């Protein structure tokens, strides 16, 4: 029964923490370890969001002067975001291994005998080159179970995406949004700056079954395999809309909300694809599939690929199920 004062408090007060705890209560054997990890990820997201908002004021735009393991120029905010996540997650007693897109090797924090149950993989700041033009950027994360029989950090994180227990992203744009799945649908949260908490705004989010919007870098179209070029010719002649931001989190988020497809094909420069399987493709695939969509890398569902190296790259096709199926007809 509502109290007499109920109508005076209309604010959304379902926080990420409350949501996670309610989900945990559905699993009687849960010990709160995953909840603690998700809480740390949300803290890192809030901290990075603040840094992103103040990036120009604090003079942290531009190059850091170093390269990451992929040979890419690191930006200051790449390094800052990576360190924030490492610090927020590093003291969580249930984390065995942390693996970042920015680091050459995973960091082994503790063995399974010392309480290390989970591995957390992340891209600390996807799309960071867009920061100086105020385009949305984001953090992508994936949580898997640590293999107690495997002592090698790289081998224990090289698991197919089907073994993820949680995945999601935090988008730093006009608002700060977290989309999260723990294997039972997708929920969306928005950071309320006034109270410093992620508040739930959507539950059991579903991607539209179809959508006449595609997201792809058409500047590389001449080097795409012929099947992708045929699909683009079909889209051009059929009244489709092109939307490409160049930040995977932003592009996938729009695809999730409005439908359509996100495509990053093989190119002459990157014949195996450009997106990282463990840090980008797998977590996004889990999220999209939990929302009712599909994700493929080449002929295989993305999450069925067995990784053979930490920074493995793959092509990605994901989005609304009907449109993904249409693209695959041309491949």
Q: How confident is the model at residue 6 (pLDDT cuts 50, 70, 90)?
A: low
Q: How much is the pLDDT for 237?
A: 98
Is pLDDT at 195 greater than 60 in this prediction?
Answer: yes
* CA 7 to centroid of chain Cα atoms: 37
pLDDT single digits (tens) 133-162 = 889 999 999 999 999 888 898 999 999 999
Structural domain of 299: 213-330
Residue 80: partners with Cβ closer than 8 Å, 6 or more residues away: 48, 51, 60
| pTM, two decimal places | 0.93
Q: Are residues 148 and 254 in the same domain?
A: no
In the chain, which ranges are E strands? 63-67, 73-75, 95-100, 107-108, 118-126, 137-145, 164-172, 176-181, 186-192, 197-202, 213-215, 241-242, 261-264, 275-276, 294-297, 300-301, 313-314, 316-319
Q: How much is the pLDDT for 72?
A: 64
Q: Are residues 46 and 183 in the same domain?
A: yes
Q: What is the mean pLDDT of the chain?
A: 92
Q: Are residues 152 and 20 in the same domain?
A: yes
Could you tell me if residue 47 is inside a domain? yes
Q: How much is the pLDDT for 24?
A: 84
Q: Are residues 235 and 195 in the same domain?
A: no
pLDDT single digits (tens) 297-319 = 999 999 999 999 999 999 999 99
Q: Are residues 273 and 128 in the same domain?
A: no
With the CA atoms of 317, 319, 322 and 327 taken in that order, what torsion angle do they form, in degrees rounded to the nearest 10? -20
Q: Are residues 50 and 148 in the same domain?
A: yes
pLDDT single digits (tens) 208-228 = 999 999 999 999 999 999 999
Give the CATH number, domain containing residue 24.
3.30.540.10
Which of 22-31, 163-172, 277-286 is predicted least confidently? Answer: 22-31
Q: Are residues 156 and 23 in the same domain?
A: yes
Is pLDDT at 1 greater than 80 in this prediction?
Answer: no
Q: Are residues 67 and 180 in the same domain?
A: yes
Residue 177: partners with Cβ closer than 8 Å, 6 or more residues away: 170, 171, 188, 189, 190, 191, 253
């Amino acid at each position: 029964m509502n109290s007499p004062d109920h109508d005076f408090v209309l604010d959304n007060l379902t926080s990420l923490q409350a949501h996670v705890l309610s989900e945990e209560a559905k699993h009687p054997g849960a010990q709160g370890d995953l909840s603690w990890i998700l809480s740390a990820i949300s803290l890192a997201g809030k901290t990075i969001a603040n840094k992103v908002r103040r990036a120009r004021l604090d003079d942290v735009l531009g190059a850091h002067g170093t390269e990451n393991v992929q040979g890419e120029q690191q930006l200051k905010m790449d390094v800052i975001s990576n360190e924030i996540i490492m610090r927020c997650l590093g003291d969580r007693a249930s984390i065995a291994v942390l693996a970042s897109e920015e680091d050459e090797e995973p960091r082994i924090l503790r063995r399974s005998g010392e309480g290390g149950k989970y591995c957390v993989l992340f891209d600390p700041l996807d799309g960071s080159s867009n920061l100086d033009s105020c385009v949305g950027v984001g953090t992508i994360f994936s949580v898997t179970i640590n293999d107690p029989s495997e002592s090698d950090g790289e081998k224990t994180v090289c698991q197919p995406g089907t073994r993820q227990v949680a995945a999601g992203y935090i988008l730093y744009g006009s608002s700060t949004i977290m989309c999260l799945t723990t294997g039972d649908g997708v929920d969306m949260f928005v950071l309320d700056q006034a109270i410093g908490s992620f508040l739930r705004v959507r539950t059991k989010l579903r991607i539209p079954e179809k959508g006449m919007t595609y997201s792809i870098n058409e500047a590389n179209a001449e080097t795409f395999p012929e099947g992708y070029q045929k699909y683009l010719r079909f889209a051009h002649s059929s009244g489709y809309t092109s939307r490409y931001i160049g930040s995977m989190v932003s592009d996938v988020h729009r695809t999730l909300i409005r439908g359509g497809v996100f495509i990053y094909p093989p190119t002459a420069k990157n014949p195996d694809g450009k997106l990282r399987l463990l840090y980008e493709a797998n977590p996004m695939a889990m999220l999209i599939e939990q929302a009712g969509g599909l994700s493929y890398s080449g002929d295989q569902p993305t999450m069925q690929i067995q990784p053979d190296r930490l920074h493995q790259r793959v092509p990605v096709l994901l989005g609304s199920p009907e449109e993904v199926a249409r693209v695959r007809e041309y491949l």
